[in-house]
Amino acid sequence: MEYHFNIEQGTGEWFELKHGVIGGTRAKGLFIKTDTLFYELLAELTEPFDETDEESYTSDAMERGNELEPEARKQLSKYTGVEFIECGFIKNAIPLLGISPDAITINFKTGAEIKCPEAKRHLRTCVADAIPLENIHQCIHSFTVNDNLETFYFMSYRPESIKPMFVKKLTRDSLVNIGTQAKPVMKTITECVEIAQTEAKRLQEELSLTINKLKF
């Protein structure tokens, strides 16, 4: 396990660390059988890292999230009684696995995913009283990458809302839906981690074989 506390997210060093790695936004690819993830990784692993190639697109929503995240982290600490800190990047012993956590504790045992969404998305989450399906795989990925993680919080934060904060706690025993609303597939986090790590190892082997073939 590697914990990079001194690297700021969004910097060149951070982009280089996550280059050729399955992070939270790619985590769903470990559960869906397509070749998209394979070729994304193959392209990154077979060409030199170039910071200018990294995506620099930002939207108003992304900017809002970046601005509100420190405040949200403080509110989450107050709500849970857990002191959270920032960490630039975490890498697993499986080379393909990494994540940029929104919040983590100094002993690495508790983490969080923080969203600062638009009003309707935030209210939908609050009314459903559940983590949105589009965010489930990101939450699972924190457990997949961080072997020390025991507890994880998903937070939706919108300070101007009638309900400013939605928080849901997860452990490795928690049941989550990795299917769809129409066709749910319920698994424990532990089962999901096993699926994800097994697929990451398979991808690692396939990528190595393919890269060796391409050299000749």
Question: Which H helix or E strand runs over 138?
Answer: helix 133-145
pLDDT digits (tens, 9 = 90+) for 91-104: 999 999 999 999 99
The pTM of the full predicted model, rounded to 2 decimals, is: 0.93
Average pLDDT over residues 70-94: 96
User: Please, which residues bridge with residue 4 across strands?
Assistant: 89
Contact 68, 116 (CB under 8 A): yes
pLDDT digits (tens, 9 = 90+) for 55-64: 555 667 778 7
Residue-level pLDDT at 144? 98
Is 166 a residue whose pLDDT tops 60?
Answer: yes
- For the chain, the structural domain boundaries read 2-214
Fold of 2-214: Lambda Exonuclease; Chain A (3.90.320)
Question: Which H helix or E strand runs over 14?
Answer: helix 12-18
Is 133 a residue whose pLDDT tops 60?
Answer: yes
Average pLDDT over residues 145-173: 98
Q: Please return the burial class of 38, using the count of CB atoms within 10 Å of its CB with bins 0-12, 13-18 and 19+.
A: middle
Phi-psi bin for 10: left (phi > 0), alpha (psi -120 to 50), beta? left
Is 121 a residue whose pLDDT tops 60?
Answer: yes
Residue-level pLDDT at 65? 74
Residue-level pLDDT at 59? 67
For residue 74, the SS3 value is helix
Residue in the structure block whose two tokens are 């919080």: 153
The Cβ of residue 83 has, within 10 Å, a number of other Cβ atoms equal to 10
Is 153 a residue whose pLDDT tops 70?
Answer: yes
Is 54 a residue whose pLDDT tops 70?
Answer: no
pLDDT digits (tens, 9 = 90+) for 180-211: 999 999 999 999 999 999 999 999 999 999 99
Residue-level pLDDT at 60? 73
Contact 166, 130 (CB under 8 A): no
- State the Cα torsion 206-145-75-66 to the nearest 10°: -30
Burial 111-135 (b: 16+ CB within 10 A, else e): bbbbbbbeeeebbebbeeeebebeb
Is 138 a residue whose pLDDT tops 70?
Answer: yes
Residue-level pLDDT at 53? 61
